[in-house]
Structure 1
């Protein structure tokens, strides 16, 4: 039943988009590159299973993912990193320091020496 403002058509369009999204999430949606494939009905899950044998394993040594940056300590024993202040020893004021940060830890280094850990 159509309404005057077309809300039914919009609802139907949104529901169709949701159905396509759900099909994609569970791997039943046809591959985006189906035209290039010898099998036009190939789903994303089937394509992954086919390519799984040719994928390379992850490297043994993990690459560094820490965020790194240089900061200059001012007159006070604090440095600012990522809109937060972190304390440092008073002997390190007015120096350029290195900050390495992960999601759980912020380390402040003077050269290779760790001077603070938050």
Structure 2
């Protein structure tokens, strides 16, 4: 996994155990999102700075208001009732994803089996 519950609690300065269970649920979800977003399975491990990005994403889930998240709605229109939902990449605000690099694959990628 990209991080641990203890590291999340230290960085986000969470001192009680009230959110332990939900933190443990968010860690694999954020791990999976980062793998999909970057197109990398990280067989050799994560870059060191990716852990803090994962913790920021977990913090977003823990501390954002419903208004911040808007249930994945990207835009709405009342006339004729038109709703556009955010894609996987738009699930988080861009400033939280800063530092994640998408992997570009070539036709002769030596890592592919």
Normalized against structure 2, the TM-score is what? 0.20
Larger radius of gyration: 1
Higher share of residues assigned strand: 1
Bigger relative CO (Cα 8 Å, ≥ 6 apart): 2
Normalized against structure 1, the TM-score is what? 0.20
